C-alpha cells in the first residue's frame, strides 16, 4: 500500500522512497550498486543531427535530413537546414530518427519491487482520490527508468491506481534529478475505475472509501455507479459555488476535479467489457466530460458508438492471451488492426506495470505483425498518446517548436532487432546505460575469464 501525495499537501513519499532504497540494498546489494545511469545537465549548445532518415510521424519521412535543436527545442527540420555557427554537428548517416515513444499508462517511477510493499506507491487508501498526483511520488533513481529509455520510451503517463477515482496521471519525461525536473504535465488526466457489473463489490466500501463494516455487504454495481455520480455532482456543486464567490469549506478533492468537469483534461475510464464501456459512455455523456477508455478488451464490439462519439481507446496490451474460451488466440494481437479498420482512434500502452513499460515498442510491433499498418502502430505509441493526454504541443512528433525528445536508431523501434543507439530528452544527450546492460557486461566478463582459465 503506497501513499501518494495529494494536492492538499505532501505525505510520506520521502519515507517510502528511502525505505525502498533500504529494501533494495537488503535484498540485493549488487542491484543497489548498479545504478550506473547518469543524470545529464540541460542542453548547453545547439546540436544538428545530419544525414538520417527522419520519421516525423505527422509530416512524413525525410530522407537524408537534418534536425537542429537548441535549448531543448527543435528549431528546424528538413533537407536544407541552415546550421548556425557554433552548432555541434553529428553525422548520423544511415541511421533513423524517431520521436521518443510515449506510454499512455505506466507505473514507472512509482513501483519498484513487487515483493516489497514499501517500494510501491501506486495505490492510495479510499475510493475517491482525485487530488492524488502521481508525479510527486516518482523516484528519479528507479532502475526501471534506464531499461524503459533503452527501449525507446522517453515519456510516460505515470498513473495511480485503486478505488473508484484513483487520481491524476502525470506526464513525465524520463530524465532529471527529481520528479519536479521530470514533470511534463502535473495533472494530465483524471482516472476512474469503472465497476464490474459481473461481480459484487471489490472496489472498497461505502461512505467515501471507509469500507463496509463487519455486518455490511459490499456495494452492488448499481450502488458503486451511483457513488461515482454522487461524487461528480458534489464536485460540480463545489465548483459552481466557488465560481459564484460563495463561502465554502476548501476541499482539495473537489478542487482537483474542476479541470475534468470543465473539459480541460480528459477522464480516463478503465473498462474492458462491452457493458462497462457502454455504461461509461452513457455516464460521460450525462456528465459532459471528455472520455478516454483504457483497457478496451471489448472495444471492437462497441466500435460504432466509439466512432460516433469520437471516444479514443488506450489498449493496455496486445501481447495477451484470450480472456474467454471461445475467443481466438489472436484476439488481442489483432485488436489494433480491427479498431483501425473500424475507425476507432487508439493508443497502445505497455501494460501499466513498471516491469513492462519497456515492452511498449513490441506491443505495437505485435500489432503490425497482425495486420496494423506500421505508420499507424507508430502513431499509437507517439502522437496519438500525446493527443489523448493533452501534451501533443510538446512531444509525440518531430516538428519545429516541439521538444527535442527523440531516438537515433538502426531501424524502426517497433522491431526488437533494431538498436536504439542514442536518445535525447529535451535536447539532453542521455546516458544510455541501464541495469540490464550493466549485468550483461558483468557476466560477459565472467564468460571471458572462464574462457581464459580453460585455455
What's residue 19's pLDDT?
A: 42
More confident residue, 27 or 277: 277
Phi, psi (rounded to 5 degrees) for 144: -75, -20
Q: Domain for residue 2, yes or no?
A: no
Do 94 and 180 lie in one domain? The reply is no
Total-model pTM: 0.86
Q: Domain for residue 272, yes or no?
A: yes
What's residue 354's pLDDT?
A: 55
What's residue 195's pLDDT?
A: 93
Residue 379 structural domain? 101-395
Which CATH number goes with the domain that contains 356?
Answer: 3.20.20.140
Do 55 and 111 lie in one domain? The reply is no
| Closest to 371 in 3D by CA, of 342, 341, 351 | 341
Range list of β-strands (E), 302-384: 313-315, 346-348
Q: What is the mean pLDDT of the chain?
A: 87
Do 408 and 291 lie in one domain? The reply is no
Cell of 74: 527543435
Spatial strand order of the sheet with 267-271 comes to 101-106, 153-158, 165-173, 183-193, 267-271, 291-295, 313-315, 346-348
Do 93 and 219 lie in one domain? The reply is no
Do 92 and 174 lie in one domain? The reply is no
What's residue 16's pLDDT?
A: 42
pLDDT surpassing 80 at residue 346: yes
What's residue 402's pLDDT?
A: 98
Place of cell 502513431: 379
Last residue of a domain, one of 395, 416, 441: 395
What's residue 251's pLDDT?
A: 92
Average pLDDT (130-137) is 92
Q: Domain for residue 285, yes or no?
A: yes
Do 125 and 176 lie in one domain? The reply is yes
Average pLDDT (39-59) is 95
Provide CB contacts within 8 A for 281, sequence distance 6+.
291, 302, 305, 306, 309, 311
pLDDT surpassing 70 at residue 230: yes
Do 65 and 145 lie in one domain? The reply is no
Do 45 and 135 lie in one domain? The reply is no
- Could you tell me the pLDDT band of residue 128, with boundaries at 50, 70 and 90? very high
Do 315 and 390 lie in one domain? The reply is yes
On whether the CB atoms of residues 331 and 352 are closer than 8 A, the answer is no
Distance CA 14, CA 137 (A): 8
Q: Domain for residue 46, yes or no?
A: yes
More confident residue, 297 or 453: 297
- Could you tell me the pLDDT band of residue 384, with boundaries at 50, 70 and 90? very high
Q: What is the DSSP code string of 117-164?
A: GGGB--B-SSSB-TTBBGGGG--TT-HHHHHHHHTTEEEEEE--BSSS
pLDDT single digits (tens) 179-206? 999 999 999 999 999 998 876 554 433 3
What's residue 218's pLDDT?
A: 84
201-204: long-range pairs with CB below 8 Å, 24+: 203/127, 203/163, 203/164, 204/126, 204/127, 204/162, 204/163, 204/164
pLDDT surpassing 60 at residue 2: no
- Could you tell me the pLDDT band of residue 30, with boundaries at 50, 70 and 90? very low
- Could you tell me the pLDDT band of residue 352, with boundaries at 50, 70 and 90? low
Average pLDDT (279-294) is 96
What's residue 4's pLDDT?
A: 44
On whether the CB atoms of residues 135 and 107 are closer than 8 A, the answer is no
What's the domain count of the chain? 2
Average pLDDT (255-272) is 96
Rounded to 5, what percent of the chain is helix, strand, coil? Answer: 35, 25, 40
Q: Domain for residue 132, yes or no?
A: yes
Do 155 and 299 lie in one domain? The reply is yes
More confident residue, 111 or 118: 111
Alpha helical stretches, state H, 189-247: 206-209, 221-243
On whether the CB atoms of residues 101 and 173 are closer than 8 A, the answer is no
What's residue 5's pLDDT?
A: 42
On whether the CB atoms of residues 156 and 109 are closer than 8 A, the answer is yes
Q: Domain for residue 257, yes or no?
A: yes
pLDDT surpassing 70 at residue 280: yes
Task: Give the lowest-confidence range in 194-198, 257-261, 284-288, 394-398.
Answer: 194-198
Which CATH number goes with the domain that contains 424?
Answer: 2.30.40.10
Do 363 and 426 lie in one domain? The reply is no
Percentage of residues in the chain with pLDDT exceeding 90? Answer: 68
Average pLDDT (299-315) is 96
Q: Domain for residue 1, yes or no?
A: no
pLDDT single digits (tens) 161-180? 889 999 999 999 999 999 99
Do 155 and 234 lie in one domain? The reply is yes
Average pLDDT (87-114) is 92
CB-CB neighbours of 263 under 10 Å = 11
pLDDT surpassing 90 at residue 454: no
Average pLDDT (20-42) is 55
Average pLDDT (228-235) is 96
Amino acid at each position: 500500500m503506497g501513499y501518494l501525495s495529494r494536492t492538499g499537501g505532501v505525505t510520506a513519499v520521502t519515507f517510502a522512497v528511502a525505505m525502498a532504497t533500504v529494501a533494495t540494498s537488503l535484498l540485493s546489494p549488487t542491484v543497489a550498486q548498479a545504478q550506473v545511469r547518469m543524470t545529464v545537465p540541460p542542453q548547453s549548445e545547439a546540436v544538428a543531427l545530419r544525414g538520417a532518415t527522419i520519421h516525423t510521424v505527422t509530416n512524413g519521412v525525410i530522407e537524408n535530413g537534418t534536425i537542429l535543436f537548441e535549448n531543448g527545442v527543435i528549431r528546424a527540420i528538413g533537407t536544407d537546414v541552415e546550421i548556425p555557427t557554433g552548432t555541434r554537428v553529428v553525422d548520423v548517416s544511415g541511421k533513423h530518427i524517431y520521436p521518443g515513444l510515449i506510454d499512455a499508462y505506466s507505473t514507472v517511477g512509482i513501483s519498484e519491487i513487487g515483493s516489497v510493499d514499501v517500494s510501491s506507491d501506486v495505490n492510495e487508501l479510499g475510493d475517491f482520490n482525485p487530488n492524488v498526483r502521481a508525479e510527486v511520488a516518482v523516484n528519479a533513481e528507479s532502475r526501471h527508468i534506464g531499461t524503459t529509455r533503452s527501449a525507446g520510451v522517453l515519456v510516460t503517463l505515470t498513473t495511480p491506481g485503486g478505488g473508484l477515482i484513483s487520481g491524476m496521471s502525470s506526464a513525465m519525461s524520463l530524465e532529471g534529478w527529481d520528479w519536479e525536473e521530470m514533470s511534463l504535465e502535473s495533472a494530465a488526466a483524471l482516472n476512474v475505475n469503472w465497476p464490474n457489473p459481473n461481480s459484487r463489490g471489490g472496489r472498497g466500501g461505502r461512505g467515501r472509501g471507509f469500507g463496509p463494516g463487519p455486518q455490511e455487504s459490499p456495494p452492488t454495481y448499481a450502488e458503486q455507479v451511483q457513488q461515482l455520480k454522487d461524487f461528480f455532482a458534489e464536485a460540480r456543486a463545489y465548483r459552481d459555488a466557488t465560481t459564484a464567490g460563495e463561502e465554502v469549506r476548501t476541499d482539495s478533492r473537489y478542487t482537483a476535479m474542476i479541470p475534468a468537469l470543465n473539459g480541460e483534461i480528459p477522464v480516463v475510464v478503465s473498462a474492458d467489457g462491452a457493458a462497462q464501456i457502454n455504461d461509461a459512455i452513457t455516464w460521460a455523456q450525462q456528465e459532459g466530460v471528455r472520455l478516454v477508455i483504457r483497457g478496451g478488451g471489448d472495444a471492437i464490439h462497441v466500435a460504432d458508438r466509439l466512432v460516433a462519439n469520437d471516444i479514443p481507446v488506450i489498449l493496455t496490451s496486445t501481447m495477451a492471451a484470450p480472456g474467454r474460451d471461445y475467443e481466438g488466440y489472436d484476439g488481442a494481437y489483432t485488436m489494433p488492426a480491427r479498431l483501425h479498420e473500424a475507425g476507432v482512434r487508439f493508443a497502445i500502452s505497455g501494460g501499466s506495470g513498471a516491469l513492462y513499460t519497456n515492452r511498449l515498442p513490441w506491443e505495437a510491433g505485435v500489432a503490425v505483425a497482425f495486420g496494423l499498418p506500421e505508420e499507424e502502430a507508430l502513431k499509437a505509441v507517439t502522437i496519438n498518446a500525446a493527443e489523448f493526454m493533452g501534451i501533443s504541443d510538446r512531444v509525440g512528433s518531430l516538428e519545429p517548436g516541439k521538444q527535442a525528445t527523440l531516438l537515433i536508431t538502426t531501424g524502426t523501434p517497433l522491431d526488437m532487432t533494431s538498436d536504439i543507439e542514442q536518445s535525447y530528452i529535451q535536447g539532453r544527450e542521455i546516458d544510455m546505460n541501464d541495469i540490464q546492460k550493466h549485468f550483461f557486461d558483468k557476466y560477459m566478463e565472467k564468460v571471458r575469464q572462464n574462457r581464459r582459465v580453460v585455455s
